[in-house]
Structure 1
Amino acid sequence: MKSVTPPQPPLHSSGRRRWMQALAITPLLPLAGCDGDVTVNAATPSPPALPAARAAVRELLQSVSHRHDLAFVLAVAGPGGEWVEASGLADRARGEALSAGHFVQGYSITKLLTASAVLRLVDQGRVALDAPIALYLAPALLDGRPGGGATPVRALLDHSAAIPNFSDTEAYDAWLLGSDAELPLQAQVQLVQGAPLLGPQGQSAYYSNTHYALLALLIEAVTGDLHERFVRAEVLLPLGLSECRYGRERSGEAYPQARYYSTNSLISKDGKPVDASALTHKIMRNELGSGGLEAPAPAFVRLLQGVLRPGLLSAESRIAMQRWQPLQAGMASIPEFYGLGLMRLDHDLGQRAVGHPGSGVAWSYLAHLPDSQQTFFLATTTGDAPADGPLYDNFQAVRAGVVRLLAG
């Protein structure tokens, strides 16, 4: 953003890159036999003493919230049942407390939703994972796009297509902070027209929102309808997640949305939290496919559990989701791996784990821990955007504390 003086980290794009880089905080642990066998089991090990663990988690959230003026919501499901803890304010101006019923942002966790929808099409025989995307997408959309139409569908899903990230462009930054116009999926893809690939296709994952914008367009081309209608009918409703909000067709009825705040210097002049809800909602409305899912915290947990359990997807698709590509794009020293809409998080959490993180104005985190059969979603509503900022450090510390307490 050339108009900003002095230069500051972009709120959403390179801030996401720094956030991704900051994930590497523990050595990579082997995820033995991980090609499809990380599941949510019916028979599970004995849980730790749940009342004690929940009380300790509640104390942790409240302590960090009070010390740093932050808000957190945590949803957990496992052998001991389902529960939610929240602390801090959903609306600072009104003094409204954050609760289990407030809708919060999933950000890039939405990629799990989009990938599941594509795999539903695969299971229905309407899309082939290794078919070129030119078989489904119009030539006008692919003209001048890095990689052309020969890119396999699978390479979009696991980010090995190596197409540049539209949200890392200066044009995107200018739109985000300076335009009232919408940014349709086609326009997102056009932001990287003519740019070179980030690397050879099919060898490593290069995390890019462009891949998932193209997947949303692919769903629309195959179904002849808005992709969010297919997502709702084929993923959300079968999993009992009718309460989730996603896409351009949103109900006009009021629902309890948590407000979002930022201390980023592009928004806050004195480093104090400023209401950035309008910016959050702008991202949510436009970055479909790669983001945009909004729901109460327990719904995110049920989404991941529903994808990993038999039922929604075929066994073949669930196995395909957990065939991993090493993530690159400036993060070669970071042991991260990406499947089809899923990430390996064992390096991050210090134990076997799969799920997906999310970042925007603030952060969210969704993970399943197969050894203990615990699934959790953690979100905060105040951020500073760069992953090396103090608010992210607090979020990271809370996440680490939650995992430790859940492990007993």
Structure 2
Amino acid sequence: MRRTPTRRLFAAAAVLVASLLAPLATVPATAATGAVLPAPAPVDHGGDGFSPELTARLDKVIEDVRTQAGIPGLVAGLWMPGKGRYVRASGVADKVTGEPMSTDVFVRIGSETKTFTVTALLKLVDDGRIKLDDPIAKYIAGVPNGWKITLRHLAEMRSGLFPYTDDEDFQQDLLSDPSRYFSPYEVLSYGYKHKNTFAPGAQFQYSNSNLILLGLVIEKVSGHRLVDFLEKRVLRPAKLRHTLLPEGTEFPEPHPRGYTNQTLSGEVTDSTDWNPSWAWAAGAMISNLEDLRRWARIVATGELLSPETQAQRLKFLPTGFPGTSYGLGIFNSGGWIGHNGSIPGYETVTVYLPSQKATLVLMLNTDITSQGQEPSSLVARAITQVVTPNNVYDRPVPPRVAAPAVRPTA
């Protein structure tokens, strides 16, 4: 019998995710709709506005964490109105060639996808086409306890549905063939084999099953594919020209190689071109620094939604982890509002601090934990300890999307 060790939540994998191994041919950067994406907008570099001492301190703490955690490369962007900005790329985008990381790359954003999916859902609420307290069974048949689980329960991670990414057969199937395509109903079937873990609303449990279902609701109610609805109602109004939900292994250039140890053997591998279909509405999207910077403020302030609907989104409830609460597809960690993402090979953090109108975006090309800690959380914590000591980002470690072999840690 195969032994399954402790998991880390996909936070793409946010796994919280939420990835396919077909070699990616050299193709133009295309969105799922087939439109050619323009080249990424140039990004400001340096620590303009921050004192040389603060800039040097940030350089040091970031590089210390990157080295100690074994992060190949990372991009950090920090914007604090009235104080300055800090944008840096460090390390390498490719461990084989030694190509340096750059600030204009696209990355897989993992569970940050949830903020987009839930925003799309809330657009339908504003349209009057659905209600948050509608049962999921009203829209999708076959959901265990579906007449008691509401759309709100799904968005706030309180449905009680078993996370399909925790199913051993799913993990075996994904890691045996990372190039495989999974349909939404197929991944849900892995979770449906298990009993629900608690009564709806009873507690918090991060489950990608919830967001897959919400993606299906969006498609059924809108009459459009999720990729098209997101483009028309979320990405275009938000002016996010470099963000997309891929339909296969497409990955716009430039992008760094991604490295993971979420393999059957636990060995580190290049997961850049793994197929993210299994994560779909829960964690498959791709973006870049400038788009994530813009999105951080939009999602936290509710720019695309009515004030009433945004207020529902920001009803944060306890998660069981001190300092972190969860609303509708969004969390609050130390006052920073947004989401993180983790998918094999990549991690991101996109958060906004309303009290200072500050934005923090991180993009890493690994999801390999360091002494039980997610690398993106280590970097975010180090940065916020320096610049906002009264508001320190301190996300708990989520379970992994898949379970590598148990190995001793140093």
**Which TM class, normalised by the smaller chain length?**
0.7 to 0.9
CA–CA separation in structure 1 for the residues paired with 2:126 and 2:284: 25
1:163 aligns with 2:164: no
Deviations 1:227-275 (A, max 9, x none): 111111111111111211213278x785111111135674565xxx532
Q: Conserved in 2, the CA contact under 8 Å of 1:372 and 1:407?
A: no
**Correspondence for 1:70:** 72
CA–CA separation in structure 1 for the residues paired with 2:251 and 2:371: 38
**Correspondence for 1:151:** 149
1:359 aligns with 2:342: yes
Matched ranges for 1:70-89 at <5 A? 70-79=72-81, 80=83, 82-89=85-92
Matched ranges for 1:272-351 at <5 A? 273-278=268-273, 281-282=274-275, 284-327=276-319, 332=320, 334=322, 336-346=324-334
Secondary structure of 1:356's aligned partner: strand
1:319 is displaced (CA, Å) by: 0.6
**Correspondence for 1:370:** 354
Q: State the one-letter code of the partner of 2:353.
A: L
Q: Conserved in 1, the CA contact under 8 Å of 2:71 and 2:364?
A: no
- Over aligned residues, Cα RMSD in angstroms? 3.0
Distance of aligned partners of 1:160 and 1:50 in 2 relative to their CA distance in 1, 3 Å threshold: farther
**Correspondence for 2:234:** 235
CA–CA separation in structure 1 for the residues paired with 2:203 and 2:316: 9
1:97 is displaced (CA, Å) by: 1.2
CA–CA separation in structure 1 for the residues paired with 2:116 and 2:51: 30
**Correspondence for 1:210:** 209
Q: Conserved in 2, the CA contact under 8 Å of 1:61 and 1:86?
A: no
**Correspondence for 1:31:** none
**Correspondence for 1:223:** 222
Q: Conserved in 1, the CA contact under 8 Å of 2:65 and 2:378?
A: no
Work out which of the residue numbers 83, 90, 94 in structure 2 matches 1:91: 94
Q: Conserved in 2, the CA contact under 8 Å of 1:116 and 1:235?
A: yes
Q: Conserved in 2, the CA contact under 8 Å of 1:147 and 1:161?
A: no
Secondary structure of 1:77's aligned partner: strand
CA–CA separation in structure 1 for the residues paired with 2:217 and 2:88: 38
Matched ranges for 1:390-401 at <5 A? 392=373, 395-401=376-382
Q: Conserved in 2, the CA contact under 8 Å of 1:105 and 1:293?
A: yes
Q: Conserved in 2, the CA contact under 8 Å of 1:106 and 1:291?
A: yes
**Correspondence for 1:406:** 387
Distance of aligned partners of 1:8 and 1:277 in 2 relative to their CA distance in 1, 3 Å threshold: farther
Paired residue total? 353
**Correspondence for 2:200:** 201
1:200 is displaced (CA, Å) by: 1.5
TM-score by length of 1: 0.78
CA–CA separation in structure 2 for the residues paired with 1:260 and 1:287: 16
Matched ranges for 1:243-262 at <5 A? 243-248=242-247, 254-262=252-260
Deviations 1:309-343 (A, max 9, x none): 3531110111111112322xxxx465542110111
**Correspondence for 1:108:** 111
1:381 aligns with 2:382: no
Distance of aligned partners of 1:54 and 1:292 in 2 relative to their CA distance in 1, 3 Å threshold: farther
1:99 is displaced (CA, Å) by: 1.1
TM-score by length of 2: 0.77
Distance of aligned partners of 1:162 and 1:265 in 2 relative to their CA distance in 1, 3 Å threshold: closer
1:161 is displaced (CA, Å) by: 1.2
Q: State the one-letter code of the partner of 2:254.
A: P
Q: State the one-letter code of the partner of 2:340.
A: P
Q: State the one-letter code of the partner of 1:378.
A: L
1:91 is displaced (CA, Å) by: 1.4
Secondary structure of 1:216's aligned partner: helix
1:191 is displaced (CA, Å) by: 1.3
Secondary structure of 1:90's aligned partner: coil
1:113 is displaced (CA, Å) by: 0.8
Q: Conserved in 1, the CA contact under 8 Å of 2:126 and 2:305?
A: yes
CA–CA separation in structure 2 for the residues paired with 1:159 and 1:97: 38
1:130 aligns with 2:133: yes
Gap runs ≥5 in structure 2: 17-47, 390-410
Deviations 1:174-201 (A, max 9, x none): 1211134311111111112253221111
CA–CA separation in structure 2 for the residues paired with 1:320 and 1:212: 17
Distance of aligned partners of 1:324 and 1:268 in 2 relative to their CA distance in 1, 3 Å threshold: closer
Q: State the one-letter code of the partner of 1:122.
A: V
Q: State the one-letter code of the partner of 1:121.
A: L
Q: State the one-letter code of the partner of 2:101.
A: L
Secondary structure of 2:315's aligned partner: coil
1:50 is displaced (CA, Å) by: 5.4
Distance of aligned partners of 1:64 and 1:158 in 2 relative to their CA distance in 1, 3 Å threshold: closer
Distance of aligned partners of 1:266 and 1:334 in 2 relative to their CA distance in 1, 3 Å threshold: farther
CA–CA separation in structure 2 for the residues paired with 1:407 and 1:160: 31
Distance of aligned partners of 1:336 and 1:402 in 2 relative to their CA distance in 1, 3 Å threshold: closer
Q: State the one-letter code of the partner of 1:76.
A: L
Q: State the one-letter code of the partner of 2:336.
A: A
1:58 is displaced (CA, Å) by: 2.6
Q: Conserved in 2, the CA contact under 8 Å of 1:267 and 1:274?
A: no
